[in-house]
Amino acid sequence: MKVIARLALGMCLCVAQSRAAAPAPQPVSGNEDVARLENTAGRYGGRIVVGQRSEPKTLNPATATDAISREVIGRLNGDLIEINRSTQKTEPALAKSWKISPDGRTFTLTLRKGVRFSDGQPFDADDVIFSFAVYLDEAVGSPQRDLLMIDGKPPSITKLDPYTVRFVLPRPYAAAERLFDGFAILPRHILEKPYREGRFAQAWALNTPAPEVAGLGPFRVKQYWPGQRILLERNPYYWKTDRDNHRLPYLDELVFLFVGSEDAQLMRFEAGETDLINRLSSENYALLSKEQSRTQMQLTDLGPSLEYNFVLFNLNDLSGKKLDGIARKQSWFLDLKFRQAVSAAIDRDAIVKLVYGTRGAPLWGNVGPGNKMWVNSTLPHPSRSLETARQLLKSAGFSWNGSGELLDPRGQAVEFSIVTSSSNAQRMKMATLLQEDLSQVGMQVHVVPLEFRAMLDRVFQSFDYEAAIMGLGGGDADPNPEMNVWLSNGSSHLWRLNENQPSTAWEREIDQLMNEQMVTLDYHKRKKLYDRVQQIIAEQLPFIFLATPNILAGAKGEVGNFQPALLDHYTLWNADQIYLRNSENAGLR
């Protein structure tokens, strides 16, 4: 009897605990400026489990550099202005409104009143001032700092009253409001002390006790199991509500499970251990769709992503580098006709078919069809033509010997290697297809798979490579995050790094256009400038663009408000609105 009584008591405690596990959302009070989402409805309760490649390195929004940490941090924190991933437009967040001065330099933001951090402490302009002081502090080393520095100068940020903040930029900056997305507002009451004491970098590590990590996001940390998972619970003070004025988020808990490779994530999802899968390869998508009728999963193909995969020739200045073999081949790579011939010989449709299983799009420029706001749709899309490729090569002085090998004007056989990351199965496949395509115009191409970091080292540091297959993009749809690729002194100006001066007329023109679009506020004028940039890139081919994969995502059937988007984070960007259709806890409403 005693045992049974104990068991019963234990069970009661368990139930009580699990109930206490999810803090009930606080009732919305009249003097609180909540953000009401008019199109959102759902039901309370339940937990969603998401698989992640590895565990986050930190929970500190100002020092996190890796995508995995940001995946978690993004759910814990709020920004002043957000980019709605679905419409790709900016929306008021912690700033309920903002005004831009006619010269485009002064931003006056009005903050929401009555908003509280996840520990219940109030939020006001002091938190904003503190947060940006942290982001701008060179000693903190925040990766976001570069985004705020315009011409090497920081914006000046002043508090006008407890709910009004003014940002003055050193010069006009197009779409500057988009920058606010990604600058999480930090709680001054918690982080000011470690910041003053110079311990900011260590603050909010994964082992920090949960109550000391407070943010303005829909969730807050509850518990962390090293190497296994991190459990988030509802932030009961979150500042968004649904159309019926119910405070979001709907979910009680959100779990990030550290599972490993993409295949492992797929298997967990198939086994029902996880509820969402963020980014599927086309093969895995095909695998899941075969079972769809049985499993009732929601599988979404959002169409071409913003990522672009390309072949890159080493055009770096190699003088003094002891890479004579590569320097000799640069006479081919530097020849525009050679690059055009390579581009003409590539079978992009085969890449889309064999690499992405038709779930992708061929590319001829850096902006793909997925980016409807910015794509230059007037650019030509020439189909594969070996004839054109041969003519181009012939006119550049190349010839062929008896066995069909391509010879350069000095009579040397055209032979080069393409490095690519061995862990990226898709780019490895592209390399194999390219090798075959180019062999048909007599080029002998060797595929050299390298471990990812070893490859980056060659491309960014030692310049010891001839050609490479890489991918870029996928951040924001706006042209500004692409500045570091296209400006001749940009840190990702891959084909010719560390340039102080543009070495060609077209690179100079791109520099001018990119800098001009950055200070142009009118969308149509900016679009025109960026169209011209895309045109130059497509003509001069510093990269030879190949293809872009579609964004593919999946969720269990019972996940409601599942609205994956083209922008990162593809599936959890609206974690506050996601709910479970069959949640047992619906009584809470």
User: Applying CB under 8 A, which residues contact another protein?
Assistant: 263, 266-267, 281, 283-284, 286-287, 347, 350, 353-354, 357-358, 417, 419, 422-423, 425, 428-429, 431-433, 435-436, 446-451, 453-454, 457, 464-466
Name the one residue in this structure whose structure tokens are 């315009």: 150
Q: Which residue has the tokens 């080493």?
A: 314
Q: Which is nearer to another protein, 174 or 418 (CB)?
A: 418
Question: Dihedrals φ, ψ of 258, to 5°?
Answer: -90, 105
Provide the 8-state DSSP code for 381: -
CB count within 10 Å of CB 195 equals: 21
Residue 347 or 476: the one with the smaller Cβ distance to another protein is 347
Of the two residues 302 and 354, which places its CB atom closer to another protein in the complex?
Answer: 354
Give min distance, CB of 575 to another protein, in A. 27
Q: Which residue's CB is nearer to another protein, number 106 or number 432?
A: 432
For residue 62, give the H/E element and its range: none
Distance of CA 99 to the CA centre of its chain: 28
Q: How far is the CB of 315 from another protein (least distance, A)?
A: 17
The identity of residue 322, as a single letter, is K
- Helix (H) / strand (E) element for 444: namely strand 444-450
Return the number of the residue (22 or 467) whose C-beta is nearest another protein.
467
Given CA atoms 409, 410, 414, 420 in this order, what sign does their dihedral have?
negative
345 within 8 A of 389, measured Cβ to Cβ: yes
DSSP state of 391: H
What is the closest distance, in whole angstroms, from the C-beta atom of residue 311 to another protein in the complex?
15
Which residues sit opposite 137 in a β-bridge? Answer: none
Rounded least distance, CB 513 to another protein, Å: 35
Rounded-to-integer distance, Cα 541 and Cα 538, Å: 5
The least CB distance from residue 560 to another protein, in Å, is: 28
Supply the minimum distance, in Å, between the C-beta of residue 39 and another protein: 35
Min dist CB 455 to another protein, Å, is 9
Query: Between residues 212 and 270, which has the closer beta carbon with respect to another protein?
Result: 270
Q: Are 258 and 246 in contact (CB under 8 A)?
A: no
Return the HEC string of 402-422.
CCCCEECCCCCECEEEEEEEC
Min dist CB 447 to another protein, Å, is: 5
User: Closest CB to another protein among 111 and 299?
Assistant: 299
If you write DSSP's letter for every residue of 162-227 in order, what string do you get? TTEEEEE-SS--TTGGGGGTT-PPP-HHHHHHHHHTT-GGGTT-TTS-GGG---SSSEEEEEEETT
| Residue 401 or 423 with smaller CB distance to another protein | 423
